[in-house]
Amino acid sequence: MGDNLKLVVGITGSSGVIYGIRFLQALSNLGIETHLVLSKWAKKNIQIETDEVIDEILKIVSYSYDETDMSAAISSGSYKTNGMVIIPCSMKTMSSIANGYDDNLISRAASVTIKENRKLVIVPRETPLSTIHLSNMLRLSENGVIILPAMPGFYHKPKTIDDLISHIIGKTLDQFGINNNVFNRWDPNENGS
């Protein structure tokens, strides 16, 4: 089902690392090639926020890279991918990308994705948002980046936290045209109008 898709996935130190883990699980289940970069703070948040084991997460990805490895294949535009997702994306990482700082492999791979006109989806997880955050989002949006905040809908009548997470995962998969049934879609016949 992967249709030869090749996606770069960055998970940063923002709260909500479960979104990134669940996104990787969905891609793995769909047979999609993944190139993962976990930031140092993502690893810390995985320990703080979840019961997941990093070594187990690494088993479901195709390739993984250290965030300091600026010689990795994904740091070059000549290495072809179908795009990149940063889920969740910290405001620090977003600022680095918006300002072309490229201070680690996540922001470098994102910059490559932008310059090569490939799809970049950023899932910020922060609240409230300052004017600086919004300005960085606007700058990225003006450069074709999809800003997909971790703001789940409620029209599907979620019963669990997992239902809320699934909504964001499904919406993120949709951005790459990846068919999925990870969440219940709006149906006016079922939900009323």
The answer to whether the annotation marks 84 as part of a ligand binding site is no
Give the C-alpha separation, 190 to 193, whole Å. Answer: 9
The answer to whether the annotation marks 39 as part of a ligand binding site is yes
The answer to whether the annotation marks 170 as part of a ligand binding site is no
CA dihedral in degrees (92, 93, 94, 97; nearest 10)? 120
The answer to whether the annotation marks 28 as part of a ligand binding site is no
The answer to whether the annotation marks 91 as part of a ligand binding site is yes
The answer to whether the annotation marks 62 as part of a ligand binding site is no
Question: Exposed e or buried b for every residue in 18-31, given b needs 16+ CB within 10 A?
Answer: bbbbbbbebbbebe
The answer to whether the annotation marks 155 as part of a ligand binding site is yes
The answer to whether the annotation marks 111 as part of a ligand binding site is no
Tokens 């993962």 — which residue?
Answer: 36
The answer to whether the annotation marks 14 as part of a ligand binding site is yes
The answer to whether the annotation marks 141 as part of a ligand binding site is no
Q: 50: helix, coil or strand?
A: coil
Feature table: binding site: 13-15, 39, 90-93, 125, 155, 171
Feature table: binding site for FMN: 13-15, 39, 90-93, 125
Feature table: binding site for dimethylallyl phosphate: 155, 171
